[in-house]
Each structure stands twice: as C-alpha cells, then as structure tokens.
Chains A and B, each alone.
Chain A
C-alpha cells in the first residue's frame, strides 16, 4: 500500500499569510494526488486534483505543486474562511490512501 505522510499535523497562521502543507508518498504516484478541505461538521471538498489542477469554483489563492513522491498545497493570502482541516489523497493505485490531515488555525 502507498503511505501518505502529511505535515505539519497542525499549523497556526495569520490573516494574509502564505501557508504550505506537504505530503510525501512512499512511492512515485505520478501526480495522482488530490487535496481536500474539511470544515467542522461538513463534508470534505475537493480543492486540487492531478497534483496541480484547481477544482471548479476553488479560489485561486489555493495551488498545488509537486511530482514523484513530494507534493504541496499552498494557500496565498490566508482568509478567515480557510480555517479548516486539509487532507491529501493518492489515487494512483488502490487502495486509495489519505494523509493524516493538517489542522489550520488562525494565529
């Protein structure tokens, strides 16, 4: 199985700041990676697919990058509505696996 190691587990940042969340796969996943945002009590929402493609309706301050085994999600100019948990997920191979998540809070 492909293991997804996500870091950091939690993150505190100020409004307007740029934040980066990392995800490392245990083997090459050939950009088969998605990022999700989940707010408390809500279903996850797709932000990024294919490592760097922005899902419909997602603000352009979100971006994804990476290749091989190393991927990252960047949020530019942090807004209050970005407070949430973020998860990466590989879909290159079954079983699909998620990172453990990053909880983003405001400083």
Chain B
C-alpha cells in the first residue's frame, strides 16, 4: 500500500525558515517523480514544486521560486521542502503527492502538514 507521511509543519514567524519531510513507503520511491502541493485554509489547491526521480529535473511555482527548495533522498525514501523567507501567504496545508505514472495526475497524497506563518 502506498503511504506518504508528511511532517515538519508548525507555527513560524514571517521571514523564518522551516523544512518539511515526506516519508514514502509501499512503492519504489526512486522510480517516481514527487511533488508538493498546498492548500490555504478554505481555499483551493496550488501546486508548489516537483522533482524527478533522480533529481535531474526540478520545477517551482513562481510564488515560491527562490525561497523554497525541493529535494529528495532516495536512500531514505524521503522528500523534502526547505522553505525560507516565509510569508503569511505561505500559510497552508502542505501535501506531498506521487503521480499515478509518468505525470498522469496525482494518484497518491499524504495527509498534509500544516504550516502557519504568523508573528
């Protein structure tokens, strides 16, 4: 069974940093590209970043480019999101997600980890 478990969220002051983790199990992690998607409270879904299986290709939303860094450790089956210079508008539930195959939709999602940016 595919499982994705996010951690690392919390309350952080504007301008500070936070690192999220997503531990994957139930599939060969190194074979799949991975993604971060966020959802502000009561709002819709926003794709944040993607990383290919070998980390060769990385993409970011313009809203986080230059502030967030996606990375992965295939030996540890773990996806990361390093977030710096956090803003109030980064407050959201952050999900990690895996494609069904290739980039055909996000078939597997974690339960999310909540990031609240507030003074």
Which residues of chain A have a CB within 8 Å of any CB of chain B? Answer: 1, 32, 34, 36, 38, 43-46, 48-50, 53, 55, 87, 89, 91, 94-101
Contact = CB atoms under 8 A, between A and B. Distances in A.
Given A94-B59, A95-B61, A95-B62, A46 B105 contact: yes
Given A94-B59, A95-B59, A95-B62, A46 B45 contact: no
A57 B111 CA distance: 19
Interface string B92-119: 0001000010011111011110000000
Contact of A46 (B44, B59, B106): B106
B47 interface: yes
Contact of A49 (B35, B59, B100, B110): B100
Interface range for B: 20 to 34
Contacts of B91: none
Interface of B: 35, 44-47, 50, 59-62, 95, 100, 103-107, 109-112
B105 A98 contact: no
A98 B47 contact: yes
Nearest to A33: B105
25 contacts: A1-B62, A34-B105, A36-B106, A45-B109, A46-B106, A49-B104, A53-B104, A55-B105, A87-B45, A89-B45, A89-B105, A89-B106, A91-B103, A91-B104, A91-B105, A94-B50, A95-B61, A95-B62, A96-B47, A96-B50, A98-B44, A98-B45, A99-B44, A100-B44, A101-B45
A21 to B, nearest CB: 14
Contacts of A34: 104-106
A1 B95 CA distance: 22
A33 to B, nearest CB: 8
